[in-house]
């Protein structure tokens, strides 16, 4: 396990490297204390350079200015180039690489060029001053260009990291917006369900009032319908409040088949219309016309589902088929299975993933899995999806049945 430690807010490894670099400069300054011009005073200048270099990452421009002043002291004293002047190159490299503005690095390069000429003029030896200037200039220019290359790569990496972080934030914002939009859509549909139930209760109550004296048995049945419908409406109202109140974490990422919005594919119903499971054959025919090879299987005796749950089953099938059309392609084989267990309805949509790719790119930005997960979660169900070993994709939703079955409406 990797352990990250910090010293004064900086990574331990960076601090250790900077101490090592400063130590090398101190070593060069101390070793030449006897033989170098300036003796102990030159050594103090070299040690001061080494201390300044400890801050070369956090304050590169200030460090470069301090080192330049110390180098100027060395030139004014007439000591000529010394071994610890490697600190000048390190400061130049640091200001080009770490400074917030490249302008500071360019200014440091100009100052270094002037220093090269001054140092060459104080060189003692056989080479002419211009040869020493050319040599010092090549070394200094090489360091400056190397630092510029490292700076460019560093800024490029930082740009990529910032772009990745921005994309991640945008993806999370889109997921949150998708969840909010889907919750609003579910809330509207549940509101229609509750409004329908209330209308049924009013009709049945009026019928029971008129039949109470003439036909008590029919009136009792109507009152029972009112009670059952009221319980159902109260349960739907509770789910509606939960949808509007409970937060939901966004999907971390869209998996294959995770996109798809029926409203954008021309396969959805008109606005303000509440479909039901009984209309699945018509829905499947529309997807067959769109190019899917759909097989439909129903197992078990279909119970009378509450309107909200009935709508949820229909929407899950609709969005799963939309995903299959987008990602499996035209001509894919899709199997839609409804299993009616004693305590739950299981919806399973499986495609073989072997269709032809669409002529035009599939529309992006849909949130099919998010929508299905929200709808199934309203009824305390579970949703699983993923690729199949033999190829293709499978979506399975399990929706528990309510304890109170749906009640047939009796006409008054």
Residues 6+ away with beta carbon under 8 Å from 71: 49, 85, 88, 115
Q: How many CB atoms lie within 10 A of CB 327?
A: 22
The number of C-alpha atoms within 13 Å of 14 and in the hemisphere containing its C-beta is 14
Q: Which range, of 25-29, 186-190, 334-338, 377-381, averages the lowest pLDDT?
A: 186-190
SS3 for the chain is: CCCCCEECCEEHHHHHHHHHHHHHHHHHHHHCCCCCCCHHHHHHHHHHHHHHHCCCCCCHHHHHHHHHHHHHHHHHHCCCCCHHHHHHHHHHHHHHHHCCCHHHHHHHHHHHHHHHHHHHHCCCCCCCHHHHHHHHHHHHHHHHHHHHHHHHHHHHHHHHHHHHHHHHHHHHHHHHHHHHHHHHHHHHHHHHHHHHHHHHHHHHHHHHHHHCCCCHHHHHHHHHHHHHHHHHHHHHHHHHHHHHHCCCCCCCCCCCCCCCCHHHCCCCCCCCCCCCHHHHHHHHHHHHHHCCEEEEEEECCCCCCCHHHHHHHHHHHHHHHHHHHHHCCECCEEEEEEEECCCEEEEEEEECCCCECCCCCCCCCCCHHHHHHHHHHHCCCEEEEEECCCCCEEEEEEEECCCCCCCCCCCC
pLDDT digits (tens, 9 = 90+) for 265-277: 445 554 445 677 8
Query: Is the confidence at residue 233, as pLDDT, over 90?
Result: no
Nearest CA to 85 out of 37, 130, 145 is that of: 37
Nearest CA to 37 out of 114, 122, 111 is that of: 122
Domain range list for the chain: 6-124, 174-400
* CATH of the structural domain 174-400, one choice from 3.30.1490.20, 3.40.50.1000, 3.30.565.10, 3.90.1150.10: 3.30.565.10
Q: Is pLDDT larger for residue 400 or for residue 180?
A: 400
pLDDT digits (tens, 9 = 90+) for 111-124: 988 888 888 887 76
pLDDT of amino acid 135 = 86
Q: Average pLDDT, stretch 249-276? A: 47
Query: Is the confidence at residue 252, as pLDDT, over 50?
Result: no
SS3 for 143-162 is: HHHHHHHHHHHHHHHHHHHH
pLDDT of amino acid 79 = 81
pLDDT of amino acid 366 = 42
- Mean pLDDT for the chain overall: 78
Q: Which range, of 162-171, 182-191, 235-244, 276-285, averages the lowest pLDDT?
A: 235-244
Query: Is the confidence at residue 188, as pLDDT, over 90?
Result: no
pLDDT of amino acid 256 = 40
Query: Is the confidence at residue 352, as pLDDT, over 80?
Result: yes
pTM for the full model? 0.46
pLDDT digits (tens, 9 = 90+) for 5-45: 776 667 788 888 888 988 898 898 888 777 778 788 888 98
Tokens found for residue 291 = 């190019």
């Amino acid at each position: 396990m990797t352990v990250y430690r910090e010293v004064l807010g900086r990574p331990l490894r960076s601090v250790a490297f900077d101490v090592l670099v400063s130590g090398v400069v101190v070593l060069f300054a101390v070793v030449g204390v006897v033989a170098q011009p300036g003796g102990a005073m030159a050594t103090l200048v070299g040690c001061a350079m080494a201390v300044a270099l400890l801050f070369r990452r956090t304050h590169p421009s200030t460090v470069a200015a301090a080192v330049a002043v110390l180098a100027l002291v060395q030139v004014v004293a007439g000591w000529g180039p010394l071994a610890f002047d490697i600190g000048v190159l390190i400061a130049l490299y640091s200001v080009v690489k770490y400074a917030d503005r490249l302008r500071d690095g360019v200014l440091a390069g100009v100052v270094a060029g002037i220093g090269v000429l001054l140092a060459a003029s104080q060189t003692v030896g056989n080479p002419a001053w211009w040869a020493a200037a050319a040599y010092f200039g090549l070394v200094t220019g090489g360091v400056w260009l190397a630092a510029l290359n490292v700076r460019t790569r560093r800024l490029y990496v930082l740009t990529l990291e910032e772009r990745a972080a921005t994309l991640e934030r945008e993806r999370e914002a889109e997921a949150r917006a998708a969840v909010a939009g889907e919750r609003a859509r579910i809330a509207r549909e549940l509101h229609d369900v509750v409004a329908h139930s209330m209308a049924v209760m009013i009709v049945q109550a009026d019928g029971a009032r008129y039949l109470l004296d003439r036909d008590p048995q029919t009136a009792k049945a109507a009152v029972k319908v009112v009670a059952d419908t009221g319980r159902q409406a109260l349960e739907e109202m509770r789910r509606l409040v939960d949808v509007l109140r409970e937060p939901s974490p966004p999907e971390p990422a869209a998996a294959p088949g995770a996109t798809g919005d029926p409203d954008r594919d021309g396969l959805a119903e008109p606005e303000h219309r509440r479909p039901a499971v009984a209309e699945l054959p018509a829905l499947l025919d529309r997807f067959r016309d769109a190019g899917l090879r759909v097989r439909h299987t129903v197992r078990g005796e279909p119970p009378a589902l509450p309107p909200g749950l009935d709508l949820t089953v229909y929407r899950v099938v609709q969005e799963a088929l939309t995903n299959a059309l987008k990602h499996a392609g035209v001509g894919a084989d899709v199997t839609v299975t409804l299993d009616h267990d004693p305590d739950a309805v299981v919806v399973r949509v499986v495609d073989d993933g072997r269709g032809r790719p669409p002529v035009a790119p599939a529309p992006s930005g849909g949130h099919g899995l998010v929508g299905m997960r929200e709808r199934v979660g309203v009824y305390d169900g579970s949703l699983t999806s993923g690729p199949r070993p033999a190829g293709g994709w499978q979506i399975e939703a399990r929706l528990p049945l309510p304890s109170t079955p749906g009640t047939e409406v009796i006409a008054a």
